[in-house]
Amino acid sequence: MTTDLWRLGAAETAALIRARGASAVEVTRSALARLDAVNPAINAVVQFMPDQALAAAAAVDKALARGEDPGPLAGVPVTIKTNVDQAGFATSNGLRLQKDLVAQHDSPVVANLKRAGAVVIGRTNTPAFSLRWFTRNSLHGATKNPRNAALTPGGSSGGAAAALAAGIGALAHGTDIGGSVRYPAYACGLHGLRPSLGRVPAVNLSGPDRLIGAQLMAVSGPLARSIADLRLGFAAMAQHDARDPWWSPGVLGGQPKRAALCVRPEGLATAPEVEAALRATAVALQDAGWTIVETAIPPLREPARLQALLWLAETRRGQNAAIVKEADPDASFVYAQMERLCPAPDFGGFQDALQARIRFCREWSVFLARYPVAIMPVSAEPPFADQLDVQSPEDFDRVMEAQLTQVGLPLMGLPGLTVATAWGAAPMGVQLVGARLREDVLLDAAATIEAAFGSPDIAL
């Protein structure tokens, strides 16, 4: 049996195991060997579970031997981000303060992946408080981009993206409140899906419930090296769990092949490399029968401001003292810059932000009824130099401006999908945005784009 089973994608792995071409234990041993071989150079996986992984794989093999269906992800090796609960492991979120916060129960997304037959092989790094588009913390250190160590691996799911790009696992779990799935996928030359609000159930019973801003904007989603794998991982993650009252089933149905192209949302200074990728993507879709209209899109700047206001309201109320106590230099600097850019509202201002949200939701809903897919930058710039945001206040402001589409989108609870169009030392990609609960439309469009550009390879 080949020792390169770790190279296979999720769909290929599950099919091979079901056909008895390889056992789940063999696949898991190969994945763990790959982790051991490449993780020391990139520090993407920071919590390890070889015994539990092999036991889960053995359970998949036993289920198949009994003639049972172990699930659509039978034996597929996956990683989980350290900011969601996994029973028996600390929900550290990159914090020394939480290094001993051991979860007693799996979060819904972890439970769903396990029920689908996935084998968790490790937990991935995140910046302290999952706060940045870069990945470094005082507990586990920095994660490196396996495609180019000079570039950020992205954040906050930087460990997830770096691991997947390096061939550690066939799928990766990430979370996204301001681009934390979409941007790491972009920086590491991968595909990544931020689902709609409520589409993937979520709760961490190891801590108190999130405040309303995060409830409305934070989601879990998959990263993958192919759109087929992204679709498979999303379907597994999105199963119902009664512990999340926000959960919603998906919507299916035909949609016209019509997309809006916006290269410079609200005057964004989009770099030439990014514009070239956007226009090439539009041509690929047009060649496949799509109608492409270059047009302005609904607002993102004011939604981005309101998103920050609502998110910081949670931090100011509950996490400010923790940020001071944790004393992580990066988190402290970033939080100070966010406070500088977003003054604290009074109660009326907070209420006004929630009221304004529905107007922006309405505007985007009407727009996406006309154009089921909006094509826009993931970022105005190619992936940033690593740690750029903490070099100076001016560099922080540059990063924030470039990330307009990352921050603005979550306010409306809309899905966004990063599609890689180039990988290697200079990753590049585009972002597709769709109507709420219409991830199917985004995945269909992404599959067409992938057919034109190819699927990301494995780094290292």
Chain centroid offset of residue 90 CA = 20
Q: Which of 81, 114, 144, 257 is catalytic?
A: 81
Rounded mean pLDDT of 147-156? 98
Residues pairing with 176 in the sheet: 219
Pairing of strands 119-124, 77-81: parallel
**In the annotation, is 81 catalytic?**
yes
Q: What is the pLDDT of residue 5?
A: 98
Report residue 1's pLDDT band, with 50, 70 and 90 as the boundaries.
very low
Q: What is the pLDDT of residue 460?
A: 86
Q: Is the pLDDT of residue 2 over 70?
A: no
Q: Which of 92, 107, 130, 180 is catalytic?
A: 180
- C-alpha to C-alpha distance for 190 and 419, rounded to whole angstroms: 7
Q: What percent of the chain has pLDDT over 70?
A: 99
pLDDT digits 0-9 by tens, 402-416: 999 999 999 999 999
Q: Cα torsion at 246, 252, 253, 258 (round to 10°)?
A: 80
- C-alpha to C-alpha distance for 275 and 268, rounded to whole angstroms: 11
Token pair belonging to 53: 């992984």
Q: Cα torsion at 186, 192, 196, 200 (round to 10°)?
A: -140
Pairing of strands 291-294, 258-261: parallel
Rounded mean pLDDT of 420-440? 97
Residues 6+ apart with CB under 8 A from 108: 200, 201, 202, 203, 241, 243, 244
pLDDT digits 0-9 by tens, 448-458: 999 999 999 99
Pairing of strands 373-376, 428-434: antiparallel
Residues pairing with 420 in the sheet: 429
- C-alpha to C-alpha distance for 179 and 154, rounded to whole angstroms: 9
Query: What is the set of domains in the chain, with CATH numbers?
Result: 7-453 (3.90.1300.10)
CA distances from 80 to 92, 118, 130, 333, 454 (A): 12, 11, 14, 27, 26
Q: What is the pLDDT of residue 434?
A: 98
Tell me whether the omega of the peptide bond preceding residue 156 falls within 30 degrees of 0, making it cis: yes
Q: Cα torsion at 166, 168, 171, 172 (round to 10°)?
A: -80
- C-alpha to C-alpha distance for 34 and 42, rounded to whole angstroms: 12
pLDDT digits 0-9 by tens, 172-195: 999 999 999 999 999 999 999 999
pTM: 0.98
Q: Are 338 and 197 in contact (CB under 8 A)?
A: no
Name the least confident of 196-210, 225-239, 315-329: 315-329
Token pair belonging to 1: 């049996």
- Average per-residue pLDDT for the chain: 96
Helix then strand count (H, E) for the chain reads: 16, 13
Q: Which of 107, 156, 157, 220 is catalytic?
A: 156
